[in-house]
C-alpha cells in the first residue's frame, strides 16, 4: 500500500514537473516580448518592464526562479494587470469555480447513476430507451449550446432563474445544469452497461437463490460492483467539467477561475496562463490519484502495492 502510494506520488511529481516545464518553455518560445503589442510603450519603459518581470535574464535562470517560486506556491504577478498577482486571481476565482465544479459533479453522479440503474433494470423497456435517448442527447449537445438553450428557455422566455454573476443559489442552478448534462449522460450510459453486465454474473444468481428481494440484490450486490467502472472515469470527467467551466463561466459571466483563464488567453497574459495551467493540472492529477485510491478501497481484490501499471 505504502510503496504504491509513494510510487504514485513520484509519478505525480514527475507529471507536474513535465507540465510546468512544458508550459514554461512553450510560453517563452513565443517570438518577441509580451509588451511588443503595445506600441505606445517607449523603449525605456519596455526595458524597465522586462527587468521587472525578469524577462531580460537568460531563459534557464528564469526557469530556475520560476520553479523556485512555484515551490513556495507563488505564481508570480500578472503582466496585463500589474496591480494583482496570479495568486490573488486564483484566491478569488478558485472558490467559485470549485463550488460550481463540485455541485456539477454531485448532480452528474447522482442523476447519472439513478438514470443508468433504472434503465438497466428496465432493460429494453420504454424507460430504458427514454433514459438512453436522454443520455445520447446529453453527450451530443455541447455544453455551450446547452447553456444557451437553458438561458433562452428558463431565464428569458420564462424568467424562472436569474443569470449572470454568482450571487445566490438560484443563480447557480442553470450553470450547474448546463455543465452537468454531459457528464451525467456519460455516467448514465456507463452505469447501465456495467449494471447489465453485473446482473448476468453468477453471484447475482447466487443472491437470488438465497431468496433475497430484488431491491436488496440491486443495492447490496449489483450496484457496488457495477459502480467500479464508473469510478475509473471520474478523473476524466472531473477534467471535462473543469474545462467546461471555462465556457460556462464565460457564458454566465461567473467570476471564477475559468473566466480569468479565458481572459488571460485572449490577453496573452503569460504568467496567468502558466499559473492557471499549473494549478488546474495539479488539481486534476490529484483527482486522478484520489480516484485510484478510491478504486482500491472499493474493490478488495485490488492490492494497491501489487498493482503494476494498468
Binding site for other proteins (CB under 8 A): 11-12, 14-15, 18-19, 22-23, 26-27, 29-30, 136-137, 139-142, 144-145, 148, 151-152, 156, 201-203, 205-213, 216, 220-221, 224-225, 228, 239-240, 242-243, 246-247, 251, 262, 265-266, 268, 273, 277, 280-281, 284-285, 288, 298-301, 309-310
Nearer to other proteins, 51 or 145 (CB): 145
Nearer to other proteins, 154 or 239 (CB): 239
3-state SS, residue 279:
helix
Closest approach, Cβ 241 to other proteins, in A, equals 11
Closest approach, Cβ 189 to other proteins, in A, equals 9
Closest approach, Cβ 148 to other proteins, in A, equals 6
3-state SS, residue 122:
coil
Nearer to other proteins, 40 or 124 (CB): 124
- C-alpha cell, 59: 531563459
Q: Taking phi first (over 0 means left), then psi (-120 to 50 degrees means alpha), and beta for anything else, what does residue 208 get?
A: alpha
Q: What angle (nearest 5°) sits at the alpha carbon of residue 275, between those of residues 90 and 165? A: 35
Q: How far is residue 252 CA from its own chain's centroid? A: 18
Closest approach, Cβ 237 to other proteins, in A, equals 12
Nearer to other proteins, 48 or 148 (CB): 148
Nearer to other proteins, 100 or 207 (CB): 207
Closest approach, Cβ 214 to other proteins, in A, equals 8
Nearer to other proteins, 68 or 205 (CB): 205
Number of H helices, E strands in the chain: 12, 0
Look at residues 175, 225, 222 and name the one whose alpha carbon lies nearest to residue 199. Answer: 222
- DSSP code for 141: S
Closest approach, Cβ 207 to other proteins, in A, equals 7
Question: Is the separation of the CB atoms in 94 and 249 below 8 Å?
Answer: no
CA distances from residue 107 to 114, 179, 214, 279 in whole angstroms, order as listed: 11, 10, 26, 24
3-state SS, residue 130:
helix
Amino acid at each position: 500500500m505504502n510503496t504504491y502510494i509513494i510510487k504514485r506520488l513520484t509519478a505525480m511529481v514527475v507529471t507536474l514537473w513535465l507540465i510546468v516545464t512544458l508550459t514554461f518553455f512553450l510560453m517563452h518560445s513565443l517570438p518577441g516580448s509580451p509588451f511588443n503589442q503595445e506600441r505606445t510603450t517607449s523603449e525605456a519603459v519596455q526595458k524597465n518592464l522586462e527587468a521587472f518581470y525578469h524577462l531580460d535574464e537568460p531563459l534557464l535562470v528564469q526557469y530556475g526562479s520560476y520553479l523556485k517560486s512555484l515551490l513556495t506556491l507563488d505564481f508570480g504577478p500578472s503582466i496585463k494587470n500589474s496591480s494583482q498577482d496570479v495568486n490573488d486571481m486564483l484566491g478569488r476565482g478558485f472558490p467559485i469555480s470549485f463550488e460550481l465544479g463540485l455541485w456539477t459533479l454531485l448532480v452528474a453522479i447522482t442523476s447519472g447513476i439513478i438514470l443508468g440503474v433504472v434503465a438497466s433494470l428496465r432493460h429494453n423497456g420504454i424507460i430504458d430507451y427514454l433514459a438512453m435517448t436522454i443520455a445520447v442527447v446529453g453527450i451530443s449537445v455541447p455544453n455551450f449550446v446547452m447553456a444557451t438553450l437553458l438561458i433562452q428557455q428558463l431565464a428569458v422566455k420564462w424568467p424562472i432563474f436569474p443569470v449572470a454573476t454568482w450571487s445566490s443559489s438560484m443563480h447557480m442552478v442553470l450553470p450547474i445544469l448546463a455543465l452537468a448534462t454531459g457528464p451525467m449522460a456519460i455516467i448514465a450510459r456507463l452505469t447501465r452497461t456495467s449494471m447489465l453486465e453485473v446482473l448476468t454474473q453468477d453471484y447475482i444468481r447466487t443472491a437470488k437463490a438465497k431468496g433475497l428481494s430484488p431491491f436488496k440484490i440491486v443495492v447490496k450486490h449489483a450496484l457496488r460492483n457495477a459502480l467500479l467502472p464508473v469510478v475509473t472515469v471520474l478523473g476524466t470527467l472531473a477534467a471535462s467539467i473543469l474545462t467546461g467551466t471555462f465556457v460556462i463561466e464565460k457564458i454566465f459571466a461567473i467570476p471564477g477561475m475559468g473566466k480569468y483563464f479565458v481572459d488571460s488567453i485572449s490577453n496573452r497574459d503569460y504568467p496567468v496562463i502558466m499559473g492557471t495551467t499549473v494549478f488546474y493540472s495539479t488539481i486534476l492529477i490529484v483527482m486522478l490519484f484520489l480516484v485510484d485510491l478510491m478504486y482500491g478501497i472499493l474493490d478488495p481484490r485490488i492490492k494497491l502495492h501489487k498493482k503494476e501499471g494498468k
